Amino acid sequence: MASAALPRISVRSRILAVILIVTSLGMAVSGFAAYIVQRDRVLSTIDDELLANVEAARGIVTGESAVQDGTTATVPESTATTFTTVEDALSAVMSRLVPGRHESSVAIIDGAARFIPGTEIAFHLEDDPAFIERVWNEASSGSVTLGTAVTTVGTLRYVSVPVEIAGSEQSGAYVTAVDAQRAVDEVAGAFLTYAGLALLSLGAIGVAGWFVAGRLLAPLRTLAETASRITAEDLSERIPVNGNDDVSALTETVNAMLDRIDEALTSQRQLLDDVRHELKTPITIVRGHLELLDATKPDEVRAARDIAIDELDRMAGLVDDIDALARAEHLSTLAEPTDIADFTTLVFSKMQAIPDRRWQLESTAEVVAPLSSARITQAWLQLADNAAKYSAADSLVRVGSTAYAGSVEFWVADEGPGIPEGAERRIFERFGRADTGRGVGGSGLGLPIVAAIARAHGGYVSLETSPEGSRFGIVVPTVDAGTAPPPPAEGFAEPSEPAPAAVSRSAS
């Protein structure tokens, strides 16, 4: 049983979710780190205040102040002469040192709480006997003790200072404490406020991100809507390009792809129309002869068979030419550095096998060019075959290769009647033919194949024609086709140096 399809989540929602998640993590990490730092700072401040109270109490009792390093120190042996009893000393300390906010103190004599501050205090240390017993035991060791205790009041940070007066039998301790939990809670409260503001900020970021993401993704929605309207029957619509960002570049790429698809489909439809038109005549001829055939007459049977075979041969040749054109149009050349002089001599020797014409090698280019020798040979021999077809028997056909700045031309010149005016471009189209008055037939695919091979090499086909003859040339760059300038859109044009004009007609 097929599982239910997962709900589709829009890219806009995903972008917004990622933004909010990353922002939330950033705010949470920053807030937590700031909380830890601030809490440690508050606790450090509490310790400083407690030690300051110790120094103040020491100054009251001894009349002098000693700076203490660390959290535990031993009380000096010297005592003040102004106090005769521990009780008097602690009474003076408690009356002079006023506890601050979230702070309290107590004076202990012989293990019992004896004095408390006369002002209003946040909490009473004497109400917790366990705490009094703890700090008295610590003070009995004779050392100043800084510590933390969990009491009935809360978590306290305290310091206990033993107090002794020479000649007094009493033992005392001064204890001051700060409600550390309340101080830390104040820090936590501030960060709760921060958390609330962070949530409001996330909401604002979410709203802004939703609209910004929608605006940035609008071209993609337009692209999807346009793509859904485009069909094989209508590829004319294009996606509007707005802006100069990655989405605009994507839109331009999609438009370029649609141009290529449109061109390919148009070319395909044109090819099918041309093939249908070209095959219609031989099929009609064969069908007509078969319908009129009298099977009882051997002569008619033989004639019909000969006609059918001839037409089938012509159709087979047409199919071969179509296949050759398709291969040439999708040709990926394997170019190799080729000595053009040697290559020209080799191809010219092959041309001389075409009968009933006088062949003359007029020039050879002394250059090296990257090309597919097999493909250029195919195209050059096609031009030679056309020259032989469209020129008189025993006429002169001149052949050569000529080098120009950055290119080389392989050309063939005949003494035929030339290309009729207005047909120069048509002969390079599929099944395009020019009426030369000589009645020479053909598939009309030879020159399109030549043009396709030239384009595959980064070049084009040149043509100069007049009533005295025509001169066709294959112009290819002498540098790598990948870095050569693009060929003309029509497939034949004028080279930058004084090569033969791409399409020109000389006066007779």
Q: What is the CATH number of the domain that holds 315?
A: 1.10.287.130
CATH of the domain at 103: 3.30.450
User: Is 310 contained in some domain?
Assistant: yes
For residue 228, is it within any domain? no
Asked whether residue 350 is assigned to any structural domain, the reply reads yes
Three-class secondary structure of residue 410 per DSSP: strand
Residue 342 sits in the same domain as residue 287: no
Instruction: Name the more confident of 428 and 463.
Output: 463
**Which stretch of DSSP H or E encloses residue 358?**
strand 358-363
- DSSP characters over 5-20: PPPP--HHHHHHHHHH
Mean predicted confidence (pLDDT) in 130-152: 86
Q: Taking the model in full, what pTM does it have? A: 0.46
Where residue 465 sits, what CATH number does that domain have? 3.30.565.10
Asked if 195 contacts 31 with a C-beta cutoff of 8 angstroms, the reply is yes
Tokens 């709760």, residue located: 192
Matching residue, tokens 């917004």: 16
The residues, any chain, with a CB within 8 Å of residue 414's CB and separated by 6 or more, are: 387, 388, 390, 391, 395, 397, 398, 469, 470, 471
Residues spanned by the domain of 86: 67-180
Output the pLDDT for position 341.
Answer: 93
pLDDT tens profile 346-367: 999 988 888 888 999 999 999 9
- Helix 180-229, helix 11-62: angle, nearest 10: 170
Q: Are residues 325 and 341 in the same domain?
A: no
Query: Is residue 403 helix, strand or coil?
Result: strand
In a domain, 200, yes or no: no
Q: Which residue has the tokens 């440690």?
A: 40
Write down the mean pLDDT value for the chain. Answer: 78
Residue 503 has pLDDT above 50, yes or no: no
List the one residue out of 161, 152, 143 whose CA is nearest residue 179: 152
- In this prediction, residue 84 has a pLDDT band, given cuts at 50, 70 and 90, of confident
Domain count, the chain: 3
d(C-alpha 91, C-alpha 85), whole Å:
10
Final residue in a domain of this structure, among 180, 203, 220: 180
Residue 9 has pLDDT above 70, yes or no: yes
CB 401 within 8 A of CB 408: yes
DSSP-derived secondary structure for 253-287: HHHHHHHHHHHHHHHHHHHHHHHHHHHHHHHHHHH
CA distance 219 to 254: 12
Do 341 and 281 lie in one domain? The reply is: no
Domain boundary among 305, 329, 353: 329
- Judgement on whether residues 322 and 349 belong to the same structural domain of the protein: no
460 and 417 inside one domain? yes
Q: What is the pLDDT of residues 275-303, one digit of tens each?
A: 665 566 677 777 777 777 777 778 877 87
More confident position, 389 or 69: 389
Do 392 and 280 lie in a common domain?
no
pLDDT at 273 over 90: no
Residue 271, pLDDT score: 66
What is the structure's pLDDT at 359?
A: 92
Residue 490 tokens read as 């029509």
Give the three-state DSSP class for 147.
strand
Query: Does residue 499 share a domain with residue 390?
Result: yes
Pair (466, 491) in one structural domain: yes
Q: Looking at the structure, do residues 343 and 450 belong to the same domain, yes or no?
A: yes
Residue 57's SS3 state is helix
Q: What single-letter amino acid sits at 422?
A: G
Mean of the pLDDT values across residues 108-125?
A: 85
Flag whether 52 is in a domain.
no
Residue 217 in any domain: the answer is no
Contacts of 422 (CB under 8 A, 6+ apart): none
Do residues 350 and 379 share a domain? yes
Q: Comparing 506 with 153, which gets the higher pLDDT?
A: 153
State whether 358 and 449 are in the same domain. yes
pLDDT at 269: 74
At 336 the three-state DSSP class reads: strand
Phi, psi of 74 (to 5 degrees): -95, 135
Taking the CB of residue 252, how many other CB atoms lie within 10 A of it?
13
What are the tokens at 47? Answer: 């310790």
Return the higher-pLDDT residue of 326 and 387. Answer: 387
User: Quick one: 166 and 251 in the same domain?
Assistant: no
Percent of the chain with pLDDT over 70: 78
Q: In this model, does residue 505 exceed pLDDT 70?
A: no
3-state secondary structure 188-235: HHHHHHHHHHHHHHHHHHHHHHHHHHHHHHHHHHHHHHHHHHCECCEC
- pLDDT at 396 exceeding the cut of 90: yes
Q: What is the DSSP string of 437-475?
A: SS-----S-HHHHHHHHHHHTT-EEEEEEETTEEEEEEE
Structure tokens, 66: 């000693």
Give the integer Cα–Cα distance in Å for 311 and 443. Answer: 13
> What is the DSSP pairing of strand 368-371 with strand 503-505?
unpaired
Residue 497's pLDDT is: 39
Asked which of 180, 198, 225 is the last residue of a domain, the reply is: 180
The answer to the question of residue 279 being in a domain is yes
Three-state DSSP state, 371: strand
Contact criterion met (CB below 8 Å) for 116 and 106: yes
Q: Which amino acid is at 209?
A: G
